[in-house]
Amino acid sequence: MDALANPYPTVTLAFKRGPDGGIIEEDINETPETKDEGREMWREHMAVRFVQGRDTDFDYEQVDANDEYEDRALQEEAAEERYFAAESPDNVLDEQKPLEGESGVQDY
């Protein structure tokens, strides 16, 4: 994570996902051929800048402190783990007590 937060400013290469999902090299100083390509490059640059936490116009602390933006599935999984960790097993046999009641074996 430290590498994402502190990229090397002198590096002239970047990497992106290609159409087949593979990682391809991208020239940072590449000049777009069309207005649409330029817009797409700008959007990608802004998205990376935002994810790296370098957008000075955005208040990251406000989002980080807000519980509504947390991953609900992850929260539910953590709550489930806490529940089962705190549960005491009622079906564990006490070795000092003799067994009583039905054995569960059908005897017909």
Residue 90 lies in a domain: no
Residue 99 lies in a domain: no
Number of domains in the chain: 1
The answer, yes or no, to whether residue 96 has pLDDT greater than 70, is no
Residue 49 lies in a domain: yes
**Domain extent at residue 36:** 2-59
Average pLDDT of the residues in 44-51: 89
8: pLDDT confidence band, cut at 50, 70 and 90? low
Q: Which residues contact 43 (CB under 8 A, 6 or more apart)?
A: none
Structure-token match 């649409």, residue found: 36
Residue 65 lies in a domain: no
Residue 84 lies in a domain: no
